[in-house]
Amino acid sequence: MMKILKLAVYFLPALPIAIRSLICWRFWPLMMDIPSEEAQEREQQRAVILSLAGFSFTGILALVILDATIIPRLHYAVWFLLISFLAYTWSFNAQGYKSKRWQNEIAVGLLESGGLSLVLAIVSILAASNFDVAFKLTGSGLAVIVSLADLVIRARIETSYLSSLEKRHGK
């Protein structure tokens, strides 16, 4: 059972992509629409993504060059930072060719996956640290709760918007 849980941890960053994929599936007729350029916010999102990708890249480098005795305790952090960097990079690239609504949903899912991965990297580093257990649990719990709450709120806002759009257009 522990092996399954340890393996499942590696797939946690896929949660936002799974949520966005479900939104795409539920509102598929609307996913073929082409939102206006303003609604796509390509340049704004690309600027944010580049700065966040820099955090991920820097974090990976910092952890990899740490003393070899520390690295085994930080393998999850390295994994999450790698996934974060890759998700941000893919999301950045997707901003360049997104045109249909479903492409935007996937790009946003990748952006959210990168953010969740950064939070999970922080939690992993806290777990491997020598801080007090209460501090580790409080900090980790707060980080996960805020991150998951944001993920749920964003998904609810998007589904609410798409539901109202669906009613207006009769799709």
- The conformation of residue 13, written as its DSSP 8-state character, comes to G
Q: What is the mean pLDDT of residues 2-31?
A: 91
Token look-up 């993920």 returns 151
pTM: predicted TM-score of the whole model, two decimal places: 0.85
Distance CA 116, CA 134 (A): 22
Task: Provide the pLDDT for residue 112.
Answer: 95
Q: Is the pLDDT of residue 56 over 70?
A: yes
Measured at the alpha carbon of residue 155, what is the angle toward residues 49 and 34, in degrees to the nearest 5?
Answer: 70
Q: Tell me the domain boundaries of the chain.
A: 15-31+39-169
Q: Say whether pLDDT at 39 is over 70.
A: no
Q: Are 59 and 81 in contact (CB under 8 A)?
A: yes
Query: What pLDDT digit, counting tens, does each position of 74-103 carry?
Result: 888 889 989 998 998 998 888 777 778 888
